[in-house]
Amino acid sequence: MEPMIRRAEARDVPRMLELVRELAIFEKEPDAVTVTGEAMLEDGFGKRPVWFGWVAEDGTGLVGMALCYDRYSTWKGRCLYLEDIVVTASARGRGIGERLFRRCVQHGVEQGYQWMRWQVLDWNTDAIRFYRRLGAEVSAGWLNGDMSAVQMRNFAAR
| Positions marked catalytic | 131
Residue 140: the pLDDT is 83
pLDDT of residue 139: 87
Position 124: which residue type? Answer: N
H/E stretch holding 63: strand 61-73
Q: What is the pLDDT of residue 149?
A: 87
CATH number for the region 4-156 comes to: 3.40.630.30
- In tens digits, the chain (158 residues) has pLDDT values of 789 999 999 999 999 999 999 999 999 999 999 999 999 999 999 999 999 999 999 989 999 999 999 999 999 999 999 999 999 999 999 999 999 999 999 999 999 999 999 999 999 999 999 999 999 999 887 778 888 889 999 999 99
Containing 77, the helix (H) or strand (E) segment is strand 77-87
Domain boundaries, the chain: 4-156
What pTM was estimated for this model as a whole?
0.92
pLDDT score, position 102? 96
d(CA 95, CA 3): 9
CA distance 98 to 6: 14
